[in-house]
Amino acid sequence: MDWDLTSLLVTQLGRLKQSAFYNQKMEQAGVDLSSIRSLEEFEKIPFTTATELLQELKKRPSESSLFSNDVTRINFSPSGQDLYPVYHTESDIETMHRVCAPTLEAAGVKKGDICAVTFGYHLFVAGLFYQGQLEYYGAKVIPLGPGESERAVQLINDYQVSVLMSNPTFAMKLAQKGIPSVRILFVGGEPFTSVEGYPEKVRQAFGRDIIIIDSYSMALCMPIARSCRYGRGLHIIDDFVYAEVIDPVTGKGVPYGEKGELVLTHLKKEAAPLLRYRTGDLTSIEKKKCECGRELTLPKSIFGRTDEMLKVKGVKFWPSQINGIIRAFPELGSKYRVVVNTDRGVDFLRLMVEGNDPSGNIVDRLSKRLKSETLLAFNEIQVISKLEDGPVVIDERKGRGF
């Protein structure tokens, strides 16, 4: 790309100097944002955690240093039983639409396409996010919203909708009723690229080789990454966000291709911008030129959470990776339990997963996939018809369960 990352970061740090929230953080850390002039110096900036950011966001607007008078839209996102606000200025909204436009072109969307958005519009950001970027790009939008599959199918067919925005499960439900005009599907709201075989399953439901575009975003940062029609993974929108991958224990950056925690910094956000924000999401970044022109890519999107890391047999292990792995096996359900203990001083790793094994070879195939994805050999794997509710992970070495 032709922009200067360091220049964009320096400009954004100048904006953050106006933020009481970040100024207080920097004073406590002894960091002067105005002195940062290189990526090496940038890494001296302390991380922002979800806890401290949400604590400030959940304050009333009159009390929160992250709220300002130039905010024009307030969406919300769930946090446990509560909601936290997501602030946007008019410029923020325009910037989101502008940086998404090249990704729509890379996906194969045409300016005359009629698009249907089935994501929610009530309080949350996803529906408006897609509608706004499509309209900015020049496409036409039907804001369907979620549910009402019969009506959705009728409208999609009546208006020959060619681009559909939906979660994969709902998209397959619509496809099974027949929506032959759809040629591009944007998916979100569920693990997709990280689940082996899921894209093929969706294409089978459509009965043809449609283009499927996966995205990764969070309410606090939209967009982050999106795939293109060439299917090389999810490309980071690197004119909008600076992405780092760090070792979640040491906080040091890891090389391209190595797993770690994703850290995000907004390059152009005005309201409630992120600065070295630890997402808690486990991923890896590859640097490889794609035909669409993008380079930095999340090859498997997000495949786990870093805040549950265990060290087993000397290997860093994130149990939530298992969820994406077992979803690739239609014979298995979503329930699983991991138990770690020691046998004569050596770690012993056991997995129980709900499902059926009529062929008798799932355990072997699952064992190979687990070894490939986690770099760990599981000592025992059981497929059982009914798994009782309980902690997903039990670390008997420390009496820990979660």
307 in helix, strand or coil? helix
Residue count (the chain): 402
401 in helix, strand or coil? strand
CB 65 within 8 A of CB 56: yes
Residue 399 has what pLDDT?
58
Q: Is 355 left (phi over 0), alpha (psi -120 to 50) or beta?
A: left
Using the 8-state DSSP alphabet, how is residue 159 labeled?
T
pTM of the full predicted structure?
Answer: 0.85
What pLDDT, in 10s, does the model give residues 139-161? 999 999 998 999 999 999 999 99
Residue 314 has what pLDDT?
85
Which class does domain 309-401 fall in?
alpha beta
Residue 228 has what pLDDT?
98
Q: Does domain 88-305 have CATH number 3.40.50.12780?
A: yes
Residue 373 has what pLDDT?
84
CB 130 within 8 A of CB 145: no
Alpha-carbon distance 115 to 103, whole Å?
Answer: 15
Residue 402 has what pLDDT?
52
* Cβ burial 39-48 (10 Å sphere, 16+ → b, else e): eeebeebebb
Ranges under pLDDT 70 in the chain: 1-3, 398-402
Alpha-carbon distance 298 to 303, whole Å?
Answer: 10
Domain layout of the chain by residue ranges = 88-305, 309-401
151: its two tokens: 């009506």
149 phi, psi to nearest 5 deg:
-60, -35
Residue 106 has what pLDDT?
98
Q: What stretch of H or E contains 213?
A: strand 211-218
